[in-house]
Amino acid sequence: MSDLFGLELLRIGSFTLTLGSLFYALFILVLAKFMEVFLFRLFVRTYVKKREIDPGRSFAVARIIKYVIYFIATLVILKNFGYQLSAILLGSAGLLVGLGLGLQHTFADLLAGFILLIEGNIAVGDIVVIDGMVGVVKNIKLRTTEIKTRDLVFIIVPNSKLVSNNVTNWSHNDSPARFHIEVSVSYKEDIEKVEKILLESAASLPDIVQIPKPHVQLTELSDYSIKLKLFFYSDELFFMEKVLSDLRKKVLIDLRNAGIEIPYPLKEIKVINPPAV
């Protein structure tokens, strides 16, 4: 049996692959997987449940545990194959310098991945706005993050973009977020009546909260209309476009039923006939 495990399969310099070392590598990988599952379950049972940590942060810790375990397992396997770890570390320093010059963006994404996992500013399940797109974070990997948009499309975002750019994280709000729609009415209308109708329209929709209360601001006296903004608060963040659409339809119907005129731009054109020659 010892002769069988000592059977040499491949030799390249100091690297020697035997049947025994191959089985040893597989054993280390299985052991690493077992340790990953065991430590994560231990972490969830003893720490997450007691401290009531959010799923996003526990996911980040699980990723870090996984990376550390497999990094150590890789070093053990390489040592078993005959590599000198000191030589690997020294050689890798020069290699990383060369790779860093050619793969700057990749290394920036990797570093940003660790920052995201450690800081937890963006976690799995968070609703974020990036480049004008609203989406929910589904997975944070070491180099990229998967975000599911409101169109039910997955986009892959480099982690460096989430760290270096301005990203709105609606899930960090302790209270409902504020939104608004714009409305224009004719100068002949009673502005207090219009304000009352707008507030009643906002109060009739279930996705709009009443604490804090909606309010109306007069924002501009334009050439042909009075412009107002109806501000409201809502906990429905992911499908906010639908809430805005429902509110605009409700406001339009209520204003029409009340006989309130919604003006549109008019231009007066004078045609002067030239004198007959």
Quick one: pLDDT at residue 214?
93
Q: What is the pLDDT of residues 45-60, one digit of tens each?
A: 665 555 555 555 566 6
Structure-model confidence comparison of residues 225 and 109, the more confident one: 225
pLDDT confidence band for 1 (50 / 70 / 90): very low
Q: What is the pLDDT of residues 16-48, one digit of tens each?
A: 666 666 777 788 788 888 887 777 777 666 655
Q: What is the pLDDT of residues 52-83, one digit of tens each?
A: 555 555 666 677 677 777 777 777 777 766 66
**Structure tokens given for 213:** 């209360």
The predicted model gives 106-121 an average pLDDT of: 73
The predicted model gives 144-148 an average pLDDT of: 88
Quick one: pLDDT at residue 264?
75
**Structure tokens given for 4:** 């069988």
Is the C-alpha dihedral spanning 58, 60, 62, 64 positive or negative?
negative
Q: Which of 141-145, 198-202, 266-270 has the highest mean pLDDT?
A: 198-202
Mean pLDDT of the chain: 77
pLDDT over threshold 50, residue 178: yes
> What is the SS3 string spanning the chain?
CHHHHCCEEEEECCEEEEHHHHHHHHHHHHHHHHHHHHHHHHHHHHHHHHHCCCHHHHHHHHHHHHHHHHHHHHHHHHHHCCCCHHHHHHHHHHHHHHHHHHCHHHHHHHHHHHHHHHHCCCCCCCEEEECCEEEEEEEECCCEEEEEECCCCEEEEEHHHHHHCCCEEHHHCCCCEEEEEEEEECCCCCHHHHHHHHHHHHHCCCCCECCCCCEEEEEEECCCCEEEEEEEEECCCCCHHHHHHHHHHHHHHHHHHCCCCCCCCCCCCCCCCCCCC
Domains within the chain, CATH numbers bracketed = 2-102 (1.10.287), 123-172 (2.30.30.60), 177-257 (3.30.70.100)
**Structure tokens given for 191:** 């502005």
Asked whether the beta carbons of 133 and 149 are under 8 A apart, the reply is: yes
Q: What is the pLDDT of residues 234-253, one digit of tens each?
A: 988 888 888 999 999 999 99
Quick one: pLDDT at residue 251?
93
Asked whether the beta carbons of 177 and 170 are under 8 A apart, the reply is: yes
Q: Report the DSSP beta bridge partners of residue 149.
A: 135
pLDDT confidence band for 4 (50 / 70 / 90): very low
Quick one: pLDDT at residue 196?
93
